[in-house]
Structure 1
């Protein structure tokens, strides 16, 4: 198939698409625009639904990074080193990514409300129970159970938004949804450090989100709207087989390249979110005249993370909306540019941490703001290049790949590299069984974290490659939806949907 010319035949009306002209399904888009042209068209219950999803996403990431805010206390209580500390997050993410495809399959075929109620209840209960576990192995096991619960929610929630809205309204709602990720992560550091310090026990930090989770279960079960799949796009498509779903996704270059790029984002955010507070704390303690605690560093790091999210996520959504009208390839270009800007800022933040008090936080803010440009945009891209009845599967597949090769291993990898470098940087005394010096601990973690900067550059390149295919793949999906509507055909009976499955 010629990538620059697509000529479908829909109800005896021929539409010719050349170059970047994104008007393949004019009738469908006209109906969508009339229904959801501005936020004033959104109903109260739809606003409530998005608000509930954002609330759950907020406490989801609060729970995920609460331990990172008190990581030093966790290491002391369980008497573990950097590699085992990184393994805690790896266990969580491995369980999260392994079960995501299962929930993705279920989410495209069964009640999303019931699945989300089960998942949120599971991670709330296991978080609470895990806070009382005295053994490291059992504690790590319960963190894995938390990951299973969170996989159900994260896989399905974005697809509910996609079934309620289209176009710019969908982009804005997704930006609101993903705004909760950096804000929730920042709250996680703050809640962990503040609750732990107030109670004199870091475990109390883990006992905050379960109660919020109980509220979320009630809201999902009795208040949240559960739209039909493809409702916003008037899609009449039905699910295809799981084999066809996976074949389509693998043959979809926009989806695969953006997934690889997002894998790099997950790698970077996973490593920095887990090790950031401790690394900055080690660097600041090396400066003369600086007297600071890990709790205070966690508070500041959390505030910086929240501020970067507050700036980056809306900015990315605004740029995507403003530039997307004139430049159809703007979404992946913005994401790629964000990573390429973030990489040098992150490298400077890591490099200057032991010499300057404010510089590392300021540069970290710049780096995280640029990194956060992609959250809402990536989600939007992943939805509009995939047909409605397989979007939960697509979300699950993206979660699997991005976490398997991203943040499932990056905290542990950084910890392993750090421990290996400590032995060479700590001198003979450290090799004889003595603890390495503070300087050696800092340098080891510093050198280990530099790997995140290289991964950001790789991610930026993948996003720019996505720009080569994004227009064509979006048109395929629009055509498939339009033909299914006008012909009232089953998914397997539509030529356009056959193309959307991946055939050229």
Structure 2
């Protein structure tokens, strides 16, 4: 099971990254709702079908992971732009927070669901079948805010991907090093740790996204640079918490502050990029953040020796996780750089948006008529 997950993950990420620009291009030119609905239907069908694949035909399982990545790219790219079309700025952040809150919630429930169904049925395929039943059937001229915020998101993806892949095993190694579990009980402990980590991810994700959106809504009234400053502050605090947490085996606070940024980062993109190029911008951001982020971070963290003493197995992974803390600091720096350009880029995007151009044209016609 672990072998399939480790090999299936890069296939999913690769197809997800490469498909995102395609859907971004289509979303800026054709009906977004149709593309979104088709992508969700496609993703749901492939997820259900993959639950009937046996390990004997593992290559088909890898193919299905890639197809799920393609379906995921469709709604991850287009859904935020639909929200932006439906709601004005004040409500848009709230709606984006509702959308993005289900990223950590879904991820955390995935651990809980997989561990629970595997324990209940003795067959990991049922996790895919249950997840199916839960599923619903150009850029502005000045791009510095977009570039720096995308790099900040890349740092977030790096840390999130590494934590999501290795924390359950990290917790097991900590228990093994402390002598609280027996080596022969690894599968049982991994299942228990997956439940614990899943619960932490759900709780901190919900709280973090809500807190981030509310903080952004309130602070924008007094500071036009509030969004990137919130993201920078939360990344710095998350990096500090992760570093401290890794030394004392507490992950929750690091994940909490990491989750603050999900909705806020997308909101930054939506107001520094003109509406006609938003899907393309989101697609490009997805490509870069996953290519340089969680596509490689789990394997970088996983380069540790397993054929040594329990104490060193734990310490080696602990030291590897420190990389996440340093990447979090870089993410905070990227968001600080975003704050230097955010006001200028926002004004430029507003001036080049279709609504502002139409308003200017109407004002010009009224002036000519009066003359």
Q: Does the 8 Å contact 1:90/1:407 carry over to 2?
A: no
* Partner of residue 22, structure 2: 102
* Partner of residue 11, structure 1: none
Q: Does the 8 Å contact 1:126/1:146 carry over to 2?
A: yes
Q: Quickly say closer, same or farther: Cα 1:288–1:440, change in 2 above 3 A.
A: closer
* Partner of residue 486, structure 1: 359
1:156 to 66, 78, 85: 78
* Partner of residue 54, structure 2: 133
For residues 34-433 of structure 1, the aligned pairs below 5 Å read: 73-75=1-3, 86-131=6-51, 132-134=53-55, 135-213=57-135, 216-217=136-137, 245=138, 248=140, 251-290=142-181, 293-353=189-249, 360=250, 364-415=251-302, 417-418=303-304, 422=305
Q: Does 1:453 align with 2:325?
A: yes
Alpha-carbon distance in structure 2 between the residues aligned to 1:477 and 1:376: 19
Larger Rg: 1
Q: CA deviation at 1:120?
A: 1.4
1:138-177 deviations in whole A, cap 9, x for unaligned? 3222211110110001000000100011121111111111
List gaps (5 residues or longer) in structure 1: 1-72, 79-84, 218-244, 354-359, 427-434, 490-504
Secondary structure of the structure 1 residue equivalent to 2:2:
helix
* Partner of residue 185, structure 2: none
**Which of the two has greater helix per residue?**
2
Range that drifts further, 300-309 or 273-282: 273-282
Q: CA deviation at 1:290?
A: 4.7
Alpha-carbon distance in structure 2 between the residues aligned to 1:121 and 1:457: 39
TM-score (norm 1): 0.67
Secondary structure of the structure 2 residue equivalent to 1:286:
helix
Alpha-carbon distance in structure 1 between the residues aligned to 2:280 and 2:163: 28
Alpha-carbon distance in structure 2 between the residues aligned to 1:126 and 1:449: 33
Alpha-carbon distance in structure 1 between the residues aligned to 2:128 and 2:176: 27
List gaps (5 residues or longer) in structure 2: 183-187, 363-371
TM-score (norm 2): 0.90
* Partner of residue 313, structure 2: 441
Alpha-carbon distance in structure 2 between the residues aligned to 1:107 and 1:115: 7
Alpha-carbon distance in structure 2 between the residues aligned to 1:412 and 1:137: 21
Alpha-carbon distance in structure 1 between the residues aligned to 2:284 and 2:297: 19
* Partner of residue 468, structure 1: 340
Alpha-carbon distance in structure 2 between the residues aligned to 1:464 and 1:309: 23
Alpha-carbon distance in structure 2 between the residues aligned to 1:171 and 1:187: 24
Range that drifts further, 445-454 or 197-206: 445-454
Secondary structure of the structure 1 residue equivalent to 2:81:
helix
Instruction: Tell me the number of residue pairs that the alignment of Structure 1 and Structure 2 aligns.
Output: 354
Range that drifts further, 185-194 or 121-130: 121-130
Q: CA deviation at 1:460?
A: 0.4
Q: CA deviation at 1:351?
A: 2.3
Q: CA deviation at 1:474?
A: 0.8
Alpha-carbon distance in structure 1 between the residues aligned to 2:30 and 2:50: 30
Alpha-carbon distance in structure 2 between the residues aligned to 1:133 and 1:200: 14
Q: Quickly say closer, same or farther: Cα 1:290–1:74, change in 2 above 3 A.
A: closer
Alpha-carbon distance in structure 1 between the residues aligned to 2:264 and 2:311: 40
